[in-house]
Amino acid sequence: MHDLAMQLAIIGIAGIASQWLAWRLQIPAIVMLLGVGLVFGPLTGLMNPREDFGELYTPLVSTAVAIILFEGGLTLNLREIRETSTAVRRVVLVSGPMVWLMTALAAHYVGDMAWPVAIILGALLVVTGPTVIMPLLRHARLRTRPGSILRWEAILNDPVGALFAVIAFEAYLVLRGAHDAEHLILTTVAAIVLAILGGIVAGRALTTFFARGHAPEYLKAPILLAVVVGMNALTNLLLEEAGLLTVTVMGVTMANARLASLAELRKFKETITVLLVSGLFIILTASLQRSVILSLEWRVVVFLALVLLVIRPIAIFVSTIGAGLGFRERLLVSWIAPRGIVAVAVAGLFGTTLSRIGLEDADRMVAYTFAVVAATIILHGFSLRPLAQLLDLRVTNRPGILIVGASRFSIALARRLKAQEVPVLIADANWSHVSEARLAEVDVWFGEILSEEAHHSLDLSRFDHMIAATDNDAYNALVCTDFGAEIGRSEVFQIGSTAGSQQTSGARHAMHFTIGGMPLFKPPRSYNDLRDNVIDGWTFQATRLTAEFRLEQFHESRPEGTLPVLWIKPSHEIVFAVGEGAGEPATGDTIISFGPPRAEREQEKIVRGTLTEREARREKARKTSEEVSRQSEGTS
């Protein structure tokens, strides 16, 4: 297929479809993308993007990788690694060169590659792709320290590994007499200095430019994208692929600046990154030649075993000595190192150049890189979660609920959830409210939930749902809007109504429908309503449905007005009654309901005429008389 427009359309649709299918099947998306690329390219010959795109292939891939790394840098806040900064530095600065050296030795002596190719391959395999690590970390729900190390390593090692490969390639050209050693040293030093300083200057300049209002909101994201592409191209003029370091430093610089619009910019970049990762991985895999895949022999199996089971563990365990990590954390980090799109992209770039120079092993280097990428994606992608669970490095095996606002209502709900072994945390900035929750033996977080400190110190991966239950409907809506992007808009709930009091004040007092979360009750109940219910004796109850006690019996046995809040399935999944597509609880589910005390049920019967008030008084008097008579007979 040589129609580029049709190729791009097919790649785009297939990439996003793969992402969606991977989400539905709960498997790493890169696995799906790898399979689609192999089908489009080597297996069927449907397309060969390297040939079809021609001279545009290399700059397009380089630019796309730069944007991906910049977006990764935007997620790195220095406050997150206060506990793991020593470990991160050692993993990048000590472990990286060790992996380079040992992998080069394995490629030469086991893979039988020429030294120039083996050294470049060793540099390429230093990287651990953030495009693979990020989805895996979201799925695995690791504890803070190992998750932070893997994320920082993945983002920082990508430009470092690419620079190692460039330096190795330039050194080979020096040996061939293409240019002198002094030129290489000066160029390398200048490129690194320019990359670091240029990234910092560009990041701070853009932050100041945006913060002072020199650009309207609708132009901030386009300006940012244009600067990223420009800085990448500018640094690459001095040293190939050095632009990757520039944009990574630029992203980290902006991530640690106090920029109000950073959240919106990050969302835009995340959308672009998903599209680029989906398309790039298919393009790079489809460009792989069938002959290159068939050239793989038994040596690649031994090479993979050395890379995964010997080289990486040795490098991690040696570099993290005295870094404050436990044995289980070091073991997990030593195993998890999936390679991704940067390794494939840079391997393709240098493979083409080395083949043109005349090195026969260049194509094998590309094949070995793809083999490592495929093996690590599959092995690490499917083993991270069970290994983390085995080593007790996951946050929790059960979905939790974050409750904002400590009141008698929310504390009672938290206690009932805790009794059902549901992880629950109450956050509130009022110390007296927090104290009441602590006295009730509920886990609390004292502080402003919308503060920067909360976003760094609260591990949101522990919570699948959030309830905003303060006495301010507008604040509840703001909290749900802020956290909805991370937890999921369908998983954030609030008491009161996002619609405001339309019946009394009119539409001008109503909030926009895009603001806030879903009402916890239908129809919505205000903070004052729930407070009065608690004062009147309403409580939370947990009721398990069985084959004998079904949903119908539950409704019949509850006092009138009882409100089912949520139910907990045997798999520990939590379903809110007002959630989209919630359905009805089934046998085995435990319903958490909020309702009046049972005594009110008798009063309801009186009102309905089932038992008149006079008959009730007579019956009570009769029983009292009989009791007195029995006591008199016993005394006599």
pLDDT tens for each residue of 458-508: 767 678 899 999 988 889 988 888 888 777 788 899 998 655 444 444 555
Amino acid of residue 284: L
Higher pLDDT, 287 or 612: 287
Q: How many CB atoms are located within 10 Å of the residue 312 CB?
A: 24
Name the 3-class secondary structure at 322. coil
CATH number of residue 506's parent domain: 3.40.50.720
Phi and psi based region of residue 516 (left: phi greater than 0; alpha: psi -120 to 50; beta: remaining): left
Task: Give dist(CA 537, CA 402) in Å, integer.
Answer: 24
* Token pair recorded at residue 79: 């406050």
Task: Give dist(CA 69, CA 61) in Å, integer.
Answer: 12
Instruction: Tell whether 482 is covered by a domain.
Output: yes
Task: Give dist(CA 508, CA 391) in Å, integer.
Answer: 55
Range 512-538 average pLDDT: 84
| Counted domains in the chain | 3
In which element (H, E) is residue 9 found?
A: helix 4-25
Query: Do 363 and 503 belong together in one domain?
Result: no
Instruction: Tell whether 205 is covered by a domain.
Output: yes
Task: Give dist(CA 274, CA 604) in Å, integer.
Answer: 57
Partner residues linked to 424 by β-bridges: 401
pLDDT tens for each residue of 132-150: 787 777 777 788 788 888 8
DSSP for 262-278, written as a single string: HHHHHHHHHHHHHHHHH
Residue 443 φ then ψ, to 5°: -65, 135
Cβ atoms 423, 398 nearer than 8 A:
yes
- Give pLDDT, residue 500: 44
Cα 578 to chain centroid, rounded = 25
Task: Give dist(CA 143, CA 147) in Å, integer.
Answer: 6
Cis amide leading into 313 (omega within 30): no
Instruction: Tell whether 139 is covered by a domain.
Output: yes
- Give pLDDT, residue 502: 42
Query: Do 414 and 280 belong together in one domain?
Result: no
Task: Give dist(CA 331, CA 388) in Å, integer.
Answer: 10
Task: Give dist(CA 468, CA 402) in Å, integer.
Answer: 8
Query: Do 497 and 552 belong together in one domain?
Result: yes
Burial class (CB within 10 angstroms; exposed 0-12, middle 13-18, buried 19+) of 353: middle
Task: Give dist(CA 535, CA 521) in Å, integer.
Answer: 19
Domain C-terminal end among 390, 408, 424: 390
Mean per-residue pLDDT of the chain = 82
Examine the pLDDT at 313 and tell me if it is beyond 90.
Answer: yes
| Contact residues for 223 (Cβ-Cβ < 8 A; gap 6+) | 206, 209, 215
Instruction: Tell whether 303 is covered by a domain.
Output: yes
Cβ atoms 203, 259 nearer than 8 A:
no
Query: Do 382 and 454 belong together in one domain?
Result: no
**pLDDT class for 176, splitting at 50, 70, 90?**
confident
In which element (H, E) is residue 12 found?
A: helix 4-25
Examine the pLDDT at 635 and tell me if it is beyond 60.
Answer: no
Query: Do 306 and 436 belong together in one domain?
Result: no
CATH number of residue 170's parent domain: 1.20.1530.20
Dmax (CA) of the chain = 124
Examine the pLDDT at 210 and tell me if it is beyond 50.
Answer: yes
Instruction: Tell whether 395 is covered by a domain.
Output: no
Examine the pLDDT at 34 and tell me if it is beyond 90.
Answer: no
Name the 3-class secondary structure at 328. helix
Query: Do 334 and 383 belong together in one domain?
Result: yes
Integer angstrom CA distances of residue 135 from 7, 130, 601: 27, 9, 51
Cα 610 to chain centroid, rounded = 57
Query: Do 357 and 427 belong together in one domain?
Result: no
DSSP for 64-121, written as a single string: HHHHHHHHHHTT--GGGGTTTHHHHHHIIIIIHHHHHHHHHHHHHHTS---HHHHHHH
**pLDDT class for 84, splitting at 50, 70, 90?**
low
Examine the pLDDT at 280 and tell me if it is beyond 90.
Answer: no
Domain C-terminal end among 348, 368, 390: 390
**pLDDT class for 250, splitting at 50, 70, 90?**
very high
Cβ atoms 191, 244 nearer than 8 A:
no
pTM for this one?
0.70
Q: How far apart are the first and last CA of the chain?
A: 109
pLDDT tens for each residue of 8-32: 899 999 999 998 888 788 777 777 8
- Give pLDDT, residue 71: 82
Name the 3-class secondary structure at 465. strand
**pLDDT class for 513, splitting at 50, 70, 90?**
low
Domain C-terminal end among 390, 413, 436: 390
* Residue entry with tokens 């070995």: 368
Query: Kind of pairing, strands 492-494 and 463-468?
Result: parallel
Query: Do 432 and 321 belong together in one domain?
Result: no
pLDDT tens for each residue of 562-596: 989 999 999 888 999 887 777 888 899 999 999 99
Query: Do 302 and 372 belong together in one domain?
Result: yes
Query: Do 103 and 230 belong together in one domain?
Result: yes
Quote the percentage of the chain above a pLDDT of 70.
Answer: 87
Partner residues linked to 467 by β-bridges: 403, 493
pLDDT tens for each residue of 219-239: 888 999 999 999 999 988 887
Phi and psi based region of residue 73 (left: phi greater than 0; alpha: psi -120 to 50; beta: remaining): alpha
Burial class (CB within 10 angstroms; exposed 0-12, middle 13-18, buried 19+) of 559: middle
Cβ atoms 109, 185 nearer than 8 A:
no
- Give pLDDT, residue 179: 64
| Contact residues for 225 (Cβ-Cβ < 8 A; gap 6+) | 67, 272
Phi and psi based region of residue 536 (left: phi greater than 0; alpha: psi -120 to 50; beta: remaining): alpha
Least-confidence region, from 89-103, 395-409, 437-451, 493-507: 493-507
Task: Give dist(CA 248, CA 255) in Å, integer.
Answer: 11
- Give pLDDT, residue 633: 47
Higher pLDDT, 518 or 129: 518
Query: Do 83 and 100 belong together in one domain?
Result: yes
pLDDT tens for each residue of 318-371: 999 988 888 999 999 999 988 877 787 778 777 777 777 777 778 788 888 888
Tell me the residue ranges of DSSP E strands in 378-499. 400-404, 424-428, 444-446, 463-468, 492-494
- Residue 619's domain spans which residues? 604-635
Partner residues linked to 566 by β-bridges: 576, 592
**pLDDT class for 636, splitting at 50, 70, 90?**
very low
Name the 3-class secondary structure at 295. coil
Range 151-176 average pLDDT: 81
Higher pLDDT, 241 or 255: 255
Examine the pLDDT at 634 and tell me if it is beyond 50.
Answer: no
Examine the pLDDT at 272 and tell me if it is beyond 70.
Answer: yes
Query: Do 385 and 294 belong together in one domain?
Result: yes
Compute, in degrees rounded to 10, the torsion defined by CA atoms 496, 500, 505, 509.
150
* Token pair recorded at residue 508: 């001008």
* Token pair recorded at residue 73: 């840098």
Sign of CA dihedral 253, 254, 256, 259: positive
- Give pLDDT, residue 172: 81
